[in-house]
Structure 1
């Protein structure tokens, strides 16, 4: 990954100017770089085995840029390149550099905070725009819901009847603390109405004051579609926890599921 990152930086006319930032399970490597014409930028390198370098996650950043750049608060995508090396495929993405820090270093929020009303208004406005944009990409499938909800929650799978385009991975590690900018768009696509709000809520359950602000900002969570979205998100995070990710959330997720059942 490091060799491929250096190759990407040079090919895109940049020099590395910041510390490494590794993504989930080492699948991505990013850093601040300096571009000869644009100045500070963010270079993100995505890797996959050569025979799996396709599909939703591989194409997500470029497709999100085509739909959303300039319309909502997200980093602009300036350039991309792809190459193969050592039986792996790599995709390098040169993004606008956002100087403000993310709200939380981890998807799971652990520290109390109280963003201003303008922060919440901006987030709600951007997500409303995202919801309104048509896409053929799918972030959540009914077939997965039918299999997974009974397995992880021991309840019948809900039927999704209302769909909307969603960011697909909304949590405080993908939101900056001042504007906010929405980061990491590779997983966007059609999902149950209220999905992004449900995801932000689920990852915030360890900080009840922030979780309540999520509920106040997104009234959809109090509706039947919002209840369904929460059940689906809880199932996703319980499945993830069964593989070792964020086990500290499990008790809170099960408590919320009991309230929703």
Structure 2
């Protein structure tokens, strides 16, 4: 069966929400519902948050789609506590629905995934972000990161980079745990907290830093700040590869010609290519 493309911002989800409420024993505060392309979230009557995701069975694999629950084992990271979860297979399509109940966030999302203006974050915020990323990198897991629900294999790295930067040696040297969807929509301010952990797992060093850099390119000073804060990751061989990985997604065949990030992405990527070639 072919999996149809679905946007949950437009799809009826009442039956899914009803099933989740019965399974977890909660009631949603429907005025708080946030609908995204493949997930729906809302506050509950017991002061928690529930996120429901639709994911094709072909994008689950052996990891089981329980990223948010498994992230509860991580230590030293500012993130909402996980309380409960439930999953079921769709009756009509090769799809799994999963709902996870977590602690409420300590603030609001910093912005959309890609920001157009400087969020004016405090020094304490940057210190907390760095502490969480450093703590994450020191942990151990058998999970593999799945950015955009795709398993992050060596082949995916090579194919993505070579689609824009052919001839680059894309062999990954160092793997570390990563959030894998680290952007401004998945962290809070003014108090730092990272959420939406469904895709976390092992990834080339620098993936999270490169993702945040790419999400900041429309604000050059912010992109420079990200690179400065995470230079220990981004100035490594794998950090440069992840810079190219993210830049290739911005510059690739589906690039928006009006994307304000294009010029900065191209400039930094060309520098990374030269640094990789000269060692």
TM-score category (smaller protein): 0.7 to 0.9
The CA distance in 2 between the partners of 1:170 and 1:133, in whole Å, is 17
Structure 1 226/52 Cα, relative in aligned 2: closer, same or farther at 3 Å? closer
1:165 to 169, 177, 181: 177
The CA distance in 2 between the partners of 1:157 and 1:227, in whole Å, is 11
Structure 1 238/136 Cα, relative in aligned 2: closer, same or farther at 3 Å? farther
2:266 to 241, 254, 259: 254
Structure 1 213/164 Cα, relative in aligned 2: closer, same or farther at 3 Å? same
The CA distance in 2 between the partners of 1:173 and 1:21, in whole Å, is 12
Aligned residues of 2:35 and 2:41 also touching (Cα < 8 A)? yes
The CA distance in 2 between the partners of 1:151 and 1:252, in whole Å, is 18
Aligned residues of 2:106 and 2:191 also touching (Cα < 8 A)? no
Unaligned runs of 5+ in 1: none
Structure 1 57/73 Cα, relative in aligned 2: closer, same or farther at 3 Å? farther
2:105 is equivalent to residue 94 of structure 1: no
Q: Give the C-alpha shift of residue 48 in structure 1.
A: 3.3
Task: Note the aligned Cα RMSD (angstroms).
Answer: 2.3
Aligned residues of 2:85 and 2:99 also touching (Cα < 8 A)? yes
Structure 1 213/42 Cα, relative in aligned 2: closer, same or farther at 3 Å? same
2:136 is equivalent to residue 130 of structure 1: yes
Structure 1 128/62 Cα, relative in aligned 2: closer, same or farther at 3 Å? same
Q: What is the number of equivalent residue pairs in this alignment? A: 249
Q: Give the C-alpha shift of residue 216 in structure 1.
A: 1.9
Q: Give the match for residue 20 of structure 1.
A: 33
The CA distance in 2 between the partners of 1:189 and 1:238, in whole Å, is 25
Q: Deviations over 1:171-208 (max 9, x none)?
A: 11111012210011111111111221111111101111
TM-score, length-normalised on structure 1?
Answer: 0.86
Q: Give the match for residue 205 of structure 1.
A: 217
Structure 1 160/116 Cα, relative in aligned 2: closer, same or farther at 3 Å? same
Q: Map residues 40-189 of structure 1 onto 2, 5 A cutoff.
A: 40-49=47-56, 51-52=57-58, 54-55=60-61, 56=63, 58-65=65-72, 67-68=73-74, 71-87=76-92, 88-104=95-111, 106-139=112-145, 140-189=152-201
SS where residue 189 of structure 2 aligns? coil
TM-score, length-normalised on structure 2?
Answer: 0.81
Structure 1 91/223 Cα, relative in aligned 2: closer, same or farther at 3 Å? closer
The CA distance in 1 between the partners of 2:195 and 2:125, in whole Å, is 15
Aligned residues of 1:162 and 1:193 also touching (Cα < 8 A)? yes
Aligned residues of 1:82 and 1:89 also touching (Cα < 8 A)? yes
Aligned residues of 2:109 and 2:186 also touching (Cα < 8 A)? yes
The CA distance in 1 between the partners of 2:108 and 2:261, in whole Å, is 24
2:40 is equivalent to residue 29 of structure 1: yes
